[in-house]
Amino acid sequence: MATETLTLGKALNVGLRRALEDDPKVVIMGEDVGKLGGVFRITDGLQKDFGDQRVIDTPLAESGIIGTAVGLAIRGYRPVCEIQFDGFVYPAYDQIVSQVAKMHYRSRGKLNIPMVIRIPFGGGIGAVEHHSESPEAYFSHTAGLKVVSCANPQDAYVMIQQAVASDDPIVFLEPKRRYWEKGAVDLDGPLSEAYPLHASRVARAGTDATLLAYGPMVRTCLDAATAAAEDGRDLEVVDLRTLSPLDLGVVYESVRRTGRAVVVHEAPSNVGLGAEIAARITEECFYSLEAPVLRVAGFDTPYPAARVEEEYLPDLDRVLDAVDRTFGW
Amino acid sequence: MAKGDPGAPARGRRAAPRSRKATTGDPELVQLLTPAGERIESVTGPDGIEYRVDFTDEEYRGLYRDLVLVRKLDAEATALQRQGELGIWASLLGQEAAQVGSGRALRTQDMAFPTYREHGVLYCRGIDPIMPLGLFRGVDQGGWDPNEFKFNMYTIVIGAQTLHATGYAMGVAMDGKTGSDDGEAVIAYFGDGATSQGDVNEAFVWAGVFNSPLVFFCQNNQYAISEPLDRQTRIPLYRRAAGFGFPGIRVDGNDVLATYAVTRHALDNARLGQGPSLIEAYTYRMGAHTTSDDPTRYRIASEVEAWQAKDPIARMKTFLEREKIADAAFFTEVDEQARREAVDLRERVLAMPDPEPTTMFDHVYPGGSPLLDKQRAQFSRYLESFEGSVH
């Protein structure tokens, strides 16, 4: 078994390469994805090997990227669109929400838009404004879109290929601050036997409380669980992986055992994923709960200047503080 | 030529009688049939290209039949809305020639991306004219198969479809389907208001940069709901093309022959791999924006009357009569066909069933969604709880 240690970014790169190899209809398009290999180098070397008809440097217009990808999809292609940064997806918002998401529905199933919209998201890299946002709630709220996020190199490698192979339009959120984190990746496992794309998974088993996270916050929660273990608390961490549709079966099972749940995300708490998850846990696990479902999230401010983002972003201490509060109920 | 592809105009099939060559009149406007019904044999556009059509008598009559049928069905739809049978209707009244001329210029393999007003193009593509009425009645959101008819669903969001057309055209080129006479071309319909949209301008950029086999077909009907053209542009719209690096031409959109000639030329250029172009079909929205609109609030009757004199069907009828291409019996027969098709359309619209409520859960995702399945099941149980009552 060829298991290699790869960064999350490189795992995405290898996964995209596989996707291009597996299906001649797959095309990658975006700003600077060609010669440069993307500003994060996720498409590094792909244009060189697959040509500029498969890996397309587009004009600098996000609505144009998504809108033309819709046309390519109608023509039978499988576009993988890169939005360079989270904060730049909004010019494409109309095309994503009104066109990509609805085309299958409006056509009563006659058209598929098998598009992947890759978005490096979240903060923590000291960036200037518009480069650190977490727009997942906007897309999760939209029927017709599916939204996923990977949290480790193995998932990055597998999930990007699964997303490209899916006939659903998928917003694929990449935890940009974790691009450089390394992990073992099984490069040989057949995609058909891989863990399903739209399924949550226990990332760390525990008994005392359940932490729920996705993307960049999974690592934060795992670190929090390690720290809590030193204090004698055994925390379970669930990597949600799929944000729309949510897959909360393992969450309900976990919360029924632990009686306590904390949802963690970088996005602002107001009307965020945490609110939906908390509501669903309350509906399904009401008699098991020892405390209200708590949220640790970004504050309800615009994403702040980089020098204070560490205070804005949920971190190990804020997560553990919330866990403490669930025990103080 | 009631249906299908009339093929390329064959030279010398019928010399246009009593015609002349012209570069006179509005030098910016390609015209082959004047409002008075006078036939111009050929015209050299400001682009230096000689535009002409050489139709057989049967083809001329076919175009006339299309125009009359399209107008009649549109009028019937307006009437159905007034009687409460459609939620809303966007009439094409006045734009029949722009739509039939361009629609008939398409070859079978060409793909069209319409707005919500392209009922005439839809008709030319061989789609059952009841289809858009389902949309505006509220029983579905389209209904035809875009790939079967090479005519995408209507797009309501202004200008969004021009990007879809551009991407599709990029795909045509990537598939190697350009560069020969039997290549494929794509046409994107939009209006004068849409030219202010970012998406349309991005489509111009994209199509130019990628040399896409695409015709941007702008029906300038002078109004975006209430806003006149001068609220959208300081220059004639067709001249915008120059800034994007491809040809632009203005055609008399009330002249079915000139519209056909100009569109066919642009489509053939596209299919040969010569890239995109912009056609501004200069026309007029004789009716309201939609049945919810009241144009008397923003335009005066004399303006409408001036355009009435440029009616696309009247000039074609005058031409057919004068040249004895059609006789009274023909016109009567066309009117009778239009009446029959309108009655048939009405009867079928009234018979359209409302969809079952739970069908709203269908086709949200090709891959399905367990959460949606659960919601549907819960809603079904809720509906069943009203057993015995009408819900």
Continuous H helices in chain A: 8-22, 46-50, 62-74, 93-94, 103-106, 136-140, 153-165, 216-230, 249-258, 273-285, 309-312, 316-327
Q: How many CB atoms lie within 10 A of CB B205?
A: 18
Q: Is the pLDDT of residue A156 over 80?
A: yes
Q: Is the pLDDT of residue B192 over 80?
A: yes
In this complex, do A95 and B163 lie within 8 Å of one another by their Cβ atoms? yes
pLDDT bucket at B387, cuts 50 / 70 / 90: confident
Chain A residues with CB under 8 Å of B206 CB are 58-59, 61, 64, 68
**d(CA A287, nearest CA chain B) in Å:** 22
Domain ranges across chain A? 3-193, 201-327
ipTM, two decimals, is 0.97
When scoring B163, B216, B244 by the number of chain A Cβ atoms within 10 A, the one with the most, hence best to mutate, is B163
- What is the pLDDT averaged over residues B17-41? 78
Rounded to a whole number, what is the distance in angstroms from the first to the last CA of chain A?
Answer: 48
What is the model's pLDDT at position B12?
40
| Fold of domain A201-327 | Rossmann fold (3.40.50)
In this complex, do B209 and A98 lie within 8 Å of one another by their Cβ atoms? no
Instruction: Give the CA distances from residue A118 to residues A16, A218, A230, B205, in Å, rounded to whole numbers and listed in that order.
Output: 11, 19, 38, 23
Catalytic residue among B298, B339, B340, B382: B298
What is the model's pLDDT at position B295?
95
- What is the pLDDT averaged over residues A3-13? 98
Q: Assign A221 to helix, strand or coil.
A: helix
Report the residue from A64, A69, A74 with minimal CB separation from B202: A64
Assigned token pair, A262: 């904390």
Q: Is the pLDDT of residue B7 over 60?
A: no
Give the phi and the psi of residue A242 in degrees, each rounded to 5.
-110, 125
CA-CA distance, A153 to A141, in Å (whole number)? 27
When scoring B139, B168, B365 by the number of chain A Cβ atoms within 10 A, the one with the most, hence best to mutate, is B365
- What is the pLDDT averaged over residues A173-186? 98
Q: Is the pLDDT of residue B9 over 70?
A: no
Nearest Cα residue in chain B from A100: B164
Catalytic residue among B61, B264, B289, B315: B289
Residues B68 and B335: beta-carbon distance below 8 Å: yes
Q: Can you give the length of chain B in residues?
A: 391
Residues B94 and B286: beta-carbon distance below 8 Å: yes
In this complex, do A77 and B198 lie within 8 Å of one another by their Cβ atoms? no
Residues B303 and B284: beta-carbon distance below 8 Å: no
Residues B157 and B193: beta-carbon distance below 8 Å: no
Residues B161 and B179: beta-carbon distance below 8 Å: no
Report the residue from B143, B206, B369 with minimal CB separation from A245: B369
- In the stretch 146-165 of chain B, residues with CB closer than 8 A to chain A read 146-147, 152-153, 155, 157, 160, 162-165
pLDDT digits (tens, 9 = 90+) for A189-234: 999 999 999 999 999 999 999 999 999 999 999 999 999 999 999 9
Q: Output the CA torsion A146→A39→A23→A196 (10° steps).
A: -40
**3-state DSSP of A243-260:** EECECCHHHHHHHHHHCC
Nearest Cα residue in chain B from A73: B168
Q: Is the pLDDT of residue B83 over 90?
A: yes
pLDDT digits (tens, 9 = 90+) for A81-95: 999 999 999 999 999
Burial (Cβ within 10 Å: 0-12, 13-18, ≥19) of residue B45: buried
pLDDT digits (tens, 9 = 90+) for B333-345: 999 999 999 999 9
Closest by Cα among B237, B290, B259 to B116 = B290
CA-CA distance, B174 to A79, in Å (whole number)? 13
Nearest Cα residue in chain A from B166: A68
In this complex, do B364 and A104 lie within 8 Å of one another by their Cβ atoms? yes
What is the model's pLDDT at position B22?
54
Assigned token pair, B314: 């009247």
pLDDT digits (tens, 9 = 90+) for A291-302: 999 999 999 999
pLDDT bucket at B389, cuts 50 / 70 / 90: low
What is the model's pLDDT at position B232?
97
Residues B214 and B165: beta-carbon distance below 8 Å: yes
In this complex, do A67 and B163 lie within 8 Å of one another by their Cβ atoms? yes
pLDDT bucket at B47, cuts 50 / 70 / 90: confident
Closest by Cα among A103, A56, A102 to A82 = A56
pLDDT digits (tens, 9 = 90+) for B315-367: 999 999 999 999 999 999 999 999 999 999 999 999 999 999 999 999 999 99
What is the model's pLDDT at position A91?
98
Q: Is the pLDDT of residue A244 over 50?
A: yes
Assigned token pair, B372: 């949606």
Closest by Cα among B310, B361, B349, B354 to B98 = B310
What is the model's pLDDT at position B14?
52
Check for a shared fold between A3-193 and A201-327.
yes
In this complex, do A59 and B165 lie within 8 Å of one another by their Cβ atoms? no
In chain B, the percentage of residues whose pLDDT exceeds 90 is 90
Rounded to a whole number, what is the distance in angstroms from the first to the last CA of chain B?
Answer: 48
CA-CA distance, A276 to A74, in Å (whole number)? 33
CA-CA distance, B220 to B253, in Å (whole number)? 8
pLDDT bucket at B18, cuts 50 / 70 / 90: very low
What is the model's pLDDT at position B154?
97
| Fold of domain A3-193 | Rossmann fold (3.40.50)
CA-CA distance, B246 to B100, in Å (whole number)? 24
- What is the pLDDT averaged over residues A239-247? 98
- What is the pLDDT averaged over residues B13-36? 69
Is B285 among the residues known to form the active site? yes
pLDDT digits (tens, 9 = 90+) for B208-246: 999 999 999 999 999 999 999 999 999 999 999 999 999
Q: Is the pLDDT of residue B23 over 80?
A: no
Q: Is the pLDDT of residue B4 over 90?
A: no
Mean of per-residue pLDDT scores for chain A: 97
DSSP string, B251-265: EETT-HHHHHHHHHH
Nearest Cα residue in chain A from B368: A168
In chain A, the percentage of residues whose pLDDT exceeds 90 is 99
CA-CA distance, B146 to A280, in Å (whole number)? 39
**d(CA B356, nearest CA chain A) in Å:** 14
SS3 content of chain A, % helix, strand, coil (to 5): 40, 20, 40
Beta bridge pairs of residue A261: A210
In this complex, do A95 and B169 lie within 8 Å of one another by their Cβ atoms? no
CB contact set of A309 (below 8 Å; sequence gap of 6+)? A123, A124, A126, A132, A303
Catalytic residue among A131, A141, A198, A265: A131
CA-CA distance, A315 to A140, in Å (whole number)? 24
pLDDT digits (tens, 9 = 90+) for B138-151: 998 888 999 999 99
- What is the pLDDT averaged over residues B148-175? 98
Give the phi and the psi of residue A202 in degrees, each rounded to 5.
-75, 120
Closest by Cα among B195, B182, B190 to B152 = B190
Q: Output the CA torsion B249→B255→B258→B262 (10° steps).
A: 40
What is the model's pLDDT at position B141?
84
